[in-house]
Structure 1
Amino acid sequence: MIDLDDTDRAMLRALALDGTLSAGELGRRFGLSQPAAWRRVRRLEEAGVFAGRRPDVDRAALGFGVTVFLGVKLATKGRVSLEDFERAVTAIPEVQVVQQVIGLFDYRLRVVARDIADFERVLRRRVMTLPGVGNVEANVLLTEERRPGPLG
């Protein structure tokens, strides 16, 4: 774990909102020189604080207007069925996130679709035919508020 000061936390909040900020812009915002800001960002990167830098894709702009969270309970459990399920579910392009969880379900999936009819097609033809699938519960995303996380 890395020790963060107030400036590090402020820079992380700013980068969480806009990952394209340059070291020069960060320096101007937080009263640092460009090289000092760059060194701070580099230290955070080397410490593994950043999981990666990816563009924030607007799914609706690409025609994917529906997001559904699926809870999946496997009918049978065992090492082979977990691996078979994981391998098969990650091959479905509409499945954006696969999380193995503890609780009522074994997995939580984030699925995107063009509309409800498209989601129904993905559910019936792809998800429900996966190896080991038992119960499935769907929760349609209505709104999403993005927060940078516990950085303060």
Structure 2
Amino acid sequence: MIELDATDREILRALTRDATQSAGALGRRLGLSQPQAWRRIARLTEAGVIRRRRLVLDREKLGFGVTVFLGVKLATKGRVSLEDFERAVSAIPEVQTVEHVLGLFDYRLKVVARDLPDFERVLRRRIMTLPGAGDVEANVILSEERLQGPIG
């Protein structure tokens, strides 16, 4: 674990809000020079605190109005390898995330679709036909609030 001071935490909060900020702009906001801000960001990246910066798309503006968290329980544990299921489900473009979890279900998937009939098509024709797919439970997202992670 890396030691973070108050400035490191401010940098992380600022980058969480907008990862496109330049080191110069970030430095000006925090009272640092551009090289100081850049060195801190580089240190946080090298230490693995910042794993990557990524683009966040507006799914609705792209025509995907429905997001569903889907719990999937494998029907035949042992017969189908977890890797086979993960590889097959990861090939479905509508599946945004695949999480292997403990609990009632073996996997939690985040699935996007244009609308509910489109989600039903993805579920019936793609997900339920995967090797080992068994019981599923769908939770349709009604609204979503993005919260910043625990930076301290």
TM-score (normalizing by structure 1): 0.97
**Number of residues of Structure 1 aligned to a counterpart in Structure 2:** 152
Aligned 8 A contact 2:80 2:132 in 1: no
Quote how far apart the aligned CAs of 1:83 are.
2.0
Aligned to 1:52: 52
Among the aligned pairs, what percent are the same residue?
75
Distance verdict in 2 for CA 1:31–1:99, change over 3 Å:
same
1:28 alignment partner in structure 2: 28
Query: Helix, strand or coil: the match of 1:73?
Result: strand
Which residue of structure 1 lines up, in the alignment, with residue 81 of structure 2? 81
For residues 46-99 of structure 1, give each alpha carbon's deviation from its aligned partner in whole angstroms, at most 9, with x where no partner exists. 001112111111111111110000000001112743222111101100001000
Q: Distance in 2 between matches of 1:79 and 1:4?
A: 46
Aligned to 1:105: 105
Gaps of 5+ in 2: none
> Is the Cα–Cα contact under 8 Å of residues 73 and 105 in structure 2 kept in the other structure?
yes
Aligned structure 1 segments of 4 or more residues deviating by more than 6 angstroms: none
Counterpart CA distance in 2 for 1:41 and 1:84 is 38
SS at match of 2:138: strand
Contact kept? 2:97, 2:109, Cα under 8 Å: yes
CA RMSD after TM alignment: 1.0
Q: Structure 2: how far apart are the matches of 1:101 and 1:77?
A: 14
Map of 1:19 onto structure 2: 19
The residue correspondences of 1:128-143 to structure 2 (distance < 5 A) are: 128-143=128-143
Write the letter of the residue equivalent to 1:120.
E
